[in-house]
A and B are shown apart, each in its own frame.
Chain A
Amino acid sequence: MFYGISLTAILVALWLTLSGPFTLSGDYPIVMGLGLLSIIGTVALTYRMRIVDRETVPIGPALALFTYWGWLGGEIVKANLAVLRLVMKPEIEVEPRLIRVSAEQRSDLGRSVFANSITLTPGTVTVDVEDDGFLVHALDNSFTDPAGFAEMGARADVASDGRKTGMATGEAN
């Protein structure tokens, strides 16, 4: 129920952001009607699909998620500058590598957040998903620091779940 109400509130906020003046001025009743209709329809469909839970409406981990995005933004800037340096050198000197990164996140959401974070960071792309890890293509061997991947994995796990009890291996690495 809590997640249903949160989902409705988020959808109302989204509709007001996208069409606020038209809805609130009252001059266009059809806009307000369509907004109500689509919000009710979306909530009803998600209830019928039984997917309204902690994972699809991440209200609990919201703070952890924003913290993670901030940290990830910093990492992306660093990786972008590294790729920029490699690309702009007079001679292209790269040593591409395929490496395996173990993914020991507790949930599938954590695993997908980790995989997408690896892909989002320039210089590393998740090529394939395996049972216990990812196959990652790295542009240069300077991007293949195992400690960096372990830290990102542990942070992705916390961010997707919101609870601080990190992975057994993620903290140790």
Chain B
Amino acid sequence: MSAAEIFQHARDVFSIGALAVGLVFVIAGATGVMRLPDFYTRMHAAGVTDTLGAELIILGLIAQAGDWQTAAKLALVGLLLFLTSPTATHAIANAAHRAGQKPDLSHFKPKHPADTATSEGPK
């Protein structure tokens, strides 16, 4: 086996590994969205799909990209996800918070460090 073939196989193994692990995280995110109790906790599970799931799949695809241009474009897609997904998650969370959706907190009531009692603070 020549060096080029070994490199090719190593690349395939890395790519399959990254895609498989990414898939595990995507499935875990989907499972979490179904299993967790309320809106806010489900959002955390969706975050798993957003971050490691998507980025690992993109990493696996970059390893399979033939030329540097495709790889660079995939890396830009990854960077875009990295920068925009928290903004989208925050927008959804903030919208729910402002609309009065109360998080299902089992035994905890938040207190401001300065003890300034805010009237609209969620319980």
Contacts and interface: CB of A to CB of B under 8 A. Distances in A.
A83 B32 contact: yes
Interface string B88-100: 0110011001100
Interface stretch (A1-9, A55-63, A117-125, A149-157): A117-125
Interface residues of A, number: 40
B104 A96 contact: yes
A99 B28 contact: no
Interface string A127-146: 11000010101010100000
Contacts of B83: 116
A116 B87 contact: yes
Contacts of A116: 83, 86-87, 90
B75 to A, nearest CB: 9
B50 to A, nearest CB: 8
B66 interface: no
B17 interface: no
B119 interface: no
A26 to B, nearest CB: 17
A124 to B, nearest CB: 8
Interface string A98-116: 1110100000000000011
